Structure 1
Amino acid sequence: MLVLPSPGSYRSTMGRRVAATGVLIMLLAGCSTASGGAPSTSSANPPTPLQAYDRAADPVARQFDQRERYADCGSVVFEQGPYPGLPDGPLSCMRRARAAKATAELRVTRPTTEGDPIVTYFRVLGDGQVEVYADNTADSHGPADWTREMRLCVPDHEVLGQICRAS
């Protein structure tokens, strides 16, 4: 005669735990590899490398390449660390263009936290706006694309704040 434990009894609960543990062990055993730890790959479906950045397929990069050329206020490269501010020469160039309602462009390179260079182009337009292009393609931890935005001259940005302040 087979005697089953009553539902909710200690033996019933222990039996379910043992069964659940057995199922878990079998599932984990199915996840192990035959080669002692190194996952195997099928030659039919080899892993593919990350897609390379295709500049021609990026509409913002193409727009940047076809942009109208403005007066060149130079290029500034910053090292890792706090923002030290723009040097006097490029800053004066951008402020003069803005005051004269003329156009000018400044290239600023700053590293990401990981040290990848992000190149940003600040373009003063004759109407008081600033066009900002950012080349994020070297950012190994970011979107690897180009961005563009039109900004009013407001002091909410380190570089724009400097350009927009009266000299």
Structure 2
Amino acid sequence: MRGRSRLLIGAGVVLAVVVGAFVLTPGGALARSLFVLREQRTSCGEVEHGAQGGGIPADARDCLDAAWESGAELTVMTPTTEGDPTFTYYRVGGGGLEIFRDTTGDTYGSGTWSRSVCPGDDLKGALERC
């Protein structure tokens, strides 16, 4: 019994270290890992804006709304004021929206990954909640 307790405690310590490494690692390692390991979905395209504030074009919104339950994703590149690229990945499927932001190319920004999960009945409703 004593050996089993030590094994369980040891496994718990290892798990805590691994989880802590993901959560405390600079650069949004957990969000980046979730993005890299994501299930591939139908593409609604890649949008590259020449200036800030471009948003999601109407045809891409229509694509994401049409795939709200079945799943799709969209990549949007928006430059910073200085011209550095930042990427936002919109993913729908199963009745929700997942947004990944990659600012690692932003020289003067946070340089991290982030992830948001937004509930809603459609893309518009989910974006309003995020």
Shorter-chain TM-score range: 0.5 to 0.7
Hey, what does 1:124 align to over in structure 2? 92
Q: Which has the higher contact order (CA 8 A, sep 6+)?
A: 2
Name the CA distance, whole Å, in 1 between partners of 2:109 and 2:27: 19
CA shift for structure 1 position 81: 4.5
CA shift for structure 1 position 117: 1.0
Q: Which has the larger radius of gyration?
A: 1
Matches within 5 A, 1:1-167: 58-83=29-54, 85-88=56-59, 90-98=60-68, 101-126=69-94, 128-153=95-120, 161=124
TM-score between the two structures when normalised by the length of structure 1: 0.53
Q: Which structure shows the higher helix fraction?
A: 2
Contact 2:88 2:102 (C-alpha < 8 Å) held by counterparts? yes
Q: 1:115 is matched by which residue type in structure 2?
A: G
Name the CA distance, whole Å, in 2 between partners of 1:106 and 1:84: 12
Cα deviation, 1:98-138, whole Å, max 9, x if unaligned, reads 1xx21110001111122211101000121x21000011100
Contact 2:118 2:126 (C-alpha < 8 Å) held by counterparts? no
Q: Percent identity?
A: 33
TM-score between the two structures when normalised by the length of structure 2: 0.66
Cα deviation, 1:141-161, whole Å, max 9, x if unaligned, reads 111111001012489xxxx54
Q: Which structure shows the higher strand fraction?
A: 2
How large is the Cα RMSD of the aligned pairs? 3.2
Runs of 5+ unmatched residues, structure 1: 1-53
Q: What secondary structure, in the 3-state scheme, does the structure 1 residue paired with 2:31 have?
A: helix
Contact 1:56 1:62 (C-alpha < 8 Å) held by counterparts? no
Name the CA distance, whole Å, in 2 between partners of 1:135 and 1:111: 12
